[in-house]
Amino acid sequence: MTETSSRLLDKIASPADLRKLSVSELPDLAAEIRKEIIRVVSKTGGHLGSSLGVVELTIALHYVFNTPDDRLIWDVGHQAYAHKLLTGRREKFERLRCEGGLSGFPKRSESPFDAFGAGHSSTSVSAAVGMAAARDILGRKNNVVAVIGDGSMSAGMAFEALNNAGDKNTRMVVVLNDNDMSIAPPVGALSHHLSQIISSKQYMTLRQAAIDMAEKLPQFVKTAALRVGQHAKGLITGGTMFEELGLYYVGPIDGHNFEQLIPILTNVRDAPEDYPIVVHVLTQKGHGYTPAEKQPSKFHGVSAFDIDTGEMLPKKNSKPSYTGVFSDMICDLAAQDPKVAAITAAMPSGTGLDVFAERFPNRFFDVGIAEQHAVTFAAGLACEGIKPYVALYSSFLQRAYDQILHDVALQSLPVRFAIDRAGFVGEDGATHNGVFDLAMLCPMPNMVVMAPSDQAELRSMLLTMNGINDRPSAVRYPRGSGPLSDLPDVVEPLEIGKGRIVREGNRVALLSIGTRLKACLDAADILSLNGVSATVADARFAKPFDENLLLELIEGHQSISVVEEGVEGGFGALILTWLANHGLLEKTKIRFITVPDRFIEQASAERQAEIARIDARSIAQKVLETVR
């Protein structure tokens, strides 16, 4: 990369300092910010391509609007790295996504410039409508600006919010960051010229005068006149959809050109009337860094990498990842069974389904950022005899709670859920930790819920799911590599609801679900050093759980500790209820070791487990407390 100084960025402690610069200085500032983002993310990892794509747009927004009084709301918050650098967090940026450092996403407790927290997508317009309504109630005059990526526009929530915004006819701005030119053709001189005209005060005033005149016409004439006007403008600019929803459309404009961004955003800011405006901005993911421009998907979320080559630095752990094992196994199942189909919500690479998509394109479905639709779509497939596997991150699965319960479980449809990133996810922090899925799924009737302790178990569970044809099933597995270096050649299905004893002891028992098994075995070693013999069992199934195994542990041990990498209300809650209903609570000491009732912020996944006190040392300490 070309070396640049930070003479401008060094002067900026807040957007107020930014507004002291001339427009001619802004391209140099953009280059400095881009260099700083690349430098830091090459060390910490993070979401690179999206943030590089909005550098100029971020500068322009803070330059034109009076933030933080004017509310700036970021959708898909990983676009906000430049925003953090411009809003007083330069010194802390070095520890982006690190324990005690900056969150990788906007966070209200981190800065008054973060108007709304955003770790997931498609929320910005809804929040903006709410903020605009609150402003009107309170009699304020500030602007409310939502920046939403076009990928986020595939979620129904975004359309619900746009529809509400058009209906309320309140003053707000929606900036559509179109970073792959999927909605409109490339911007050109004519498009820019038209956008500047239609965003001008004179045009808007004339438009309002025409609307006022149309109000005096008979209803059928008025409706026809307004519709003709909207379509005429839409044919020129591409904004018919937004105009139909009742939003004033401006664009598309070049999101990397300050000569377009500044005057058009200024016109929008100074619009004479109170109505919602959409500004359609074309940007390039990874802009200004050649490796990211050439491979935007690869550089969407990155680990540490070499700046000069763009190559990811080798990871210490070369053991197979759970996502990779899922990817291979789902392809094997599809090769053997023509009814196997796979669905994801804009995460083909993250879930490992990109390989499936290449091999079985007719049976792969990426529905966009639309988890609710993904689940009910899968239910429709299941109704017709297809075997759908829905692969989602645990924290994204939360968005489809109602669809899983009502459209799948209630009808006992054999939809199979592959839940990636279950448990702690590390540097993405509280917004992405997958610690709620067990508590969400375990109470659902007709649901089989599994969690593997290693990669081989995951393969067996996926095979087991393929044979479950009378009800829904789910398997949750973590991010990253598992404990096994080599996997067995033969994959065998599991007996549903059957756990196993992994280590024999005679005084206390540890019952683990999922990948906490390794921590339980290590805890057993610590207990042994303290003179306490421990049995370690792997539940495998959270629902239905192995009642006979539980009874065996009760009969032969002084205490039982149930360990799960999830919040209260999941696996342990099922066991507690069962014991109470069978009058067995008085027969044993039982303790539930779960994630505490608070959000765990960003750190390494291992450190998050320590903070949550579900690591081996903490487990051993808690077990010792039950026997003393």
Confidence of residue 221 (pLDDT cuts 50, 70, 90): very low
The CA distance from 223 to 211, in Å, is: 10
Confidence of residue 571 (pLDDT cuts 50, 70, 90): very high
Contacts 24+ apart (CB under 8 A), 363-367: 363/334, 365/341, 367/154, 367/343
| Whether the predicted pLDDT of 528 surpasses 50 | yes
The catalytically annotated residue of 399, 516, 540, 543 is: 399
* SS3 call for 370: coil
Contact between residue 381 and residue 341 where contact means Cβ atoms under 8 Å apart? yes
The CA distance from 155 to 158, in Å, is: 6
371 assigned to active site: yes
Closest by Cα among 325, 303, 301, 298 to 314: 303
Confidence of residue 588 (pLDDT cuts 50, 70, 90): confident
| Whether the predicted pLDDT of 104 surpasses 90 | no
- The overall average pLDDT reported for the chain is 89
The CA distance from 275 to 172, in Å, is: 7
Stretch 498-518: mean pLDDT, rounded? 96
Contact between residue 48 and residue 75 where contact means Cβ atoms under 8 Å apart? no
Instruction: Tell me the one-letter amino acid at 584.
Output: L
Burial of 560 (0-12, 13-18, 19+ CB in 10 A): buried
Neighbours of 185 (CB within 10 A): 10
| Whether the predicted pLDDT of 186 surpasses 50 | no
| Pairing label, strands 534-538, 541-543 | unpaired
Please report which helix (H) or strand (E) contains residue 560, including its range: strand 559-567
The CA distance from 137 to 341, in Å, is: 50
Burial of 568 (0-12, 13-18, 19+ CB in 10 A): middle
| Whether the predicted pLDDT of 187 surpasses 50 | no
The catalytically annotated residue of 56, 371, 427, 565 is: 371
Instruction: Tell me the one-letter amino acid at 32.
Output: E
Contact between residue 346 and residue 151 where contact means Cβ atoms under 8 Å apart? yes
Give DSSP secondary structure letters for 155-187.
Answer: SHHHHHHHHHHHHHT--EEEEEEESS--SSPPP
Amino acid 45: pLDDT: 86
Contact between residue 233 and residue 195 where contact means Cβ atoms under 8 Å apart? no
Amino acid 183: pLDDT: 40
Q: Return the sign of the alpha-carbon dihedral for residues 591, 594, 597, 601.
A: positive
* SS3 call for 577: helix
Please report which helix (H) or strand (E) contains residue 510, including its range: strand 508-513
Amino acid 179: pLDDT: 83
Q: Which range (152-166, 207-221, 517-531) has the least confidence?
A: 207-221
- Torsion (CA) 237, 240, 243, 247 in degrees, nearest 10: -60
| Whether the predicted pLDDT of 143 surpasses 60 | yes
pLDDT tens column, 426-467: 998 899 999 999 999 999 999 999 999 999 999 999 999 999
In the block, tokens 């009808």 appear at: 411
What does the chain come to in residues?
628
Six-digit token string for 166: 């058009």
Give DSSP secondary structure letters for 204-218.
Answer: HHHHHHHHHHHHTS-
The CA distance from 618 to 608, in Å, is: 12
Please report which helix (H) or strand (E) contains residue 60, including its range: helix 55-64
* SS3 call for 615: coil
The CA distance from 609 to 598, in Å, is: 13
Enumerate domains of the chain plus CATH numbers: 9-181+275-294 (3.40.50.970), 322-476 (3.40.50.970), 500-627 (3.40.50.920)
Confidence of residue 76 (pLDDT cuts 50, 70, 90): confident
Neighbours of 501 (CB within 10 A): 15
The CA distance from 550 to 543, in Å, is: 13
Contact between residue 142 and residue 171 where contact means Cβ atoms under 8 Å apart? no
Regarding predicted confidence, which is higher, 206 or 201?
A: 201
| Whether the predicted pLDDT of 587 surpasses 60 | yes
Confidence of residue 258 (pLDDT cuts 50, 70, 90): very high
Amino acid 218: pLDDT: 59
| pTM for this prediction | 0.86
- Which residue blocks in 511-615 are alpha helix, DSSP H? 517-529, 547-556, 571-581, 605-612
The catalytically annotated residue of 35, 107, 171, 285 is: 285
In the block, tokens 């042994």 appear at: 528
Q: How far is CA 214 from CA 218, 244, 271, in A?
A: 8, 17, 21
Q: For 288, list phi and psi in degrees, rounded to 5.
A: 95, -5
Confidence of residue 191 (pLDDT cuts 50, 70, 90): very low
* SS3 call for 628: coil
Amino acid 185: pLDDT: 40
pLDDT tens column, 341-369: 999 998 999 999 999 999 999 999 999 88
Please report which helix (H) or strand (E) contains residue 263, including its range: helix 258-269
pLDDT tens column, 295-327: 887 788 788 888 888 888 877 767 999 999 999
Confidence of residue 193 (pLDDT cuts 50, 70, 90): very low
Q: What is the 3-state secondary structure (H, E, C) of 274-300?
A: CCEEEEEEECCCCCCCHHHHHCCCCCC
Amino acid 1: pLDDT: 45
Amino acid 182: pLDDT: 40
Six-digit token string for 4: 């640049």
% of the chain at pLDDT higher than 90? 69
Stretch 246-260: mean pLDDT, rounded? 91
Q: C-alpha 202: how far from its chain's center?
A: 42
In DSSP terms, 511 is beta-bridged to 537, 562
Closest by Cα among 457, 620, 428 to 539: 457
